Amino acid sequence: LTPVALPRRPRVLALANQKGGVGKTTTAINLGTALAATGEKVLIVDLDPQGNASTGLGIDRKSRKSSTYDVLCGDVGLGQAMQETAVPGLFLAPSTLDLLGVELEIASSKDRAHRLKHAIDELMYDQRCSDLTYVLIDCPPSLSLITINAMTASDAVLVPLQCEFFALEGLSQLLKTVEQVRAGLNPRLAIQGVVLTMYDARNNLSGQVMADVREFLGDKVYETVIPRNVRISEAPSYGKPALLYDLRCSGSQAYLRLASEVIKRERALRAAA
Ligand code: ADP
Ligand code: MG
């Protein structure tokens, strides 16, 4: 008898922060690429109606046949929505503007917060996706039902925090939401870590914010800090992750270091479980 391998759930991380412009999408794309480069098989789930992760990965609107809207409505599986990207080992479930209306559509259903969780649970039984090791969920800039779906489906939350004066403002609300999801919907939800983004070494404020955040959050903050780097902001307009656009730039190198920290933490979490 040949032993049958039990399906293994990928590690699911939600990139969440209700502030816009803090680096959620940039981190989803480039962390996803860096993880894929180290041999992980990664799916990015674009849950933002703006679809920046989809555009940034070169999947234009015309080619988004099935989207995360269809998935949350229960019309297609995540495996069906999943598309290849230019990065080997990196896949995308794109979003469309339809997602703006999804909350109304599912609000009255009992499993409204579990739609994405169920879709990810089913992935393991889809041959094309059963060997995925990571799912990264790019959340919209809100603590809406969409973000609640992401947190309910996730093992952990990864919080991008921009190095700016108001960095910590709003964080307590985000942490409260994590607590609420843990209490009611998903008791295993952890905080994977907080990543400081758009750090500017020439700006004293950036350094001060970094010190404050580390004092407040301790070792939840990754050692890797993502620098403000023009190559990072240029890459999406070419439909490419920064790591493909310019692997040597400081931003790409930082995302490679972040990926190894994320993997290290995942191993530690798994060993402790
Ligand atoms: P969010 O998804 O949280 O709204 P984005 O990832 O879209 O944030 O980033 C907001 C803007 O900042 C984008 O234009 C992006 O290209 C830019 N950006 C993100 N990270 C960096 C960085 N490290 N250096 C320079 N620009 C960045
Ligand atoms: Mg975004």
In a domain? residue 6: no
Burial class (CB in 10 A: 0-12, 13-18, 19+), 88: exposed
Name the closest-CA residue to atom 27, ligand 1: 233
Answer yes or no: is pLDDT of 2 > 70: no
Residues with Cβ within 8 Å of 77's Cβ and at least 6 positions away in sequence, in order, are: 71, 119, 122, 123, 126
At residue 273, the pLDDT reads 72
124-138 confidence digits (pLDDT tens): 888 888 899 999 999
Q: How far apart are CA 260 and CA 273, in angstroms?
A: 20
Answer yes or no: is pLDDT of 116 > 80: yes
In a domain? residue 4: no
In a domain? residue 266: yes
Which residues are paired to 261 by β-bridges? none
- What's the CATH code of the domain at 70? 3.40.50.300
At residue 168, the pLDDT reads 85
Å from CA of 147 to ligand 2 middle: 12
Handedness of CA 154, 226, 55, 24 (dihedral sign): positive
Å from CA of 138 to ligand 2 middle: 7
Name the closest-CA residue to atom 1, ligand 1: 21
* Ligand 1 atom at minimal distance to the Cα of residue 26: 6
Answer yes or no: is pLDDT of 192 > 90: yes
Q: How far apart are CA 39 and CA 36, in angstroms?
A: 5
Å from CA of 46 to ligand 2 middle: 9
Q: What is the CA radius of gyration of the chain?
A: 18
Question: Helices marked H in the chain — which ranges?
Answer: 24-37, 52-56, 68-73, 78-81, 102-106, 115-123, 145-153, 171-184, 204-217, 230-234, 242-245, 250-272
DSSP state of 237: G
**Would you tell me how many other CB atoms lie within 10 Å of the CB of residue 233?**
13
30-82 confidence digits (pLDDT tens): 999 999 999 999 999 999 999 999 999 999 999 999 999 999 999 999 999 99
Nearest residue to 160 via CA among 22, 265, 44, 13: 22
HSE toward the beta carbon, residue 203, CA cutoff 13 A: 12
Nearest residue to 160 via CA among 18, 12, 34, 23: 23
Å from CA of 5 to ligand 2 middle: 36
First to last CA, the chain: 30
What is the chain's mean pLDDT, rounded? 94
* Ligand 1 atom at minimal distance to the Cα of residue 27: 6
Angle between helices 115-123 and 145-153 (to 10 degrees): 40
Please name which ligand lies nearest the alpha carbon of 17.
Answer: 1
In a domain? residue 3: no
Domain carrying residue 217: 11-272
In a domain? residue 92: yes
**How large is the ipTM?**
0.99
In a domain? residue 146: yes
* Ligand 1 atom at minimal distance to the Cα of residue 236: 16
Number of structural domains, the chain? 1
Residues with Cβ within 8 Å of 64's Cβ and at least 6 positions away in sequence, in order, are: 51, 54, 94, 95, 96
Tell me the DSSP string of 198-229.
Answer: SB-TT-HHHHHHHHHHHHHHGGGB-S--PBP-
In a domain? residue 2: no
**Residue 188 binned pLDDT confidence (cut-offs 50, 70, 90):** very high
In a domain? residue 160: yes
Pocket lining: 180 vs ligand 1, CB cutoff 6 Å: no
At residue 130, the pLDDT reads 83
Pocket lining: 237 vs ligand 1, CB cutoff 6 Å: no
Pocket lining: 251 vs ligand 1, CB cutoff 6 Å: yes
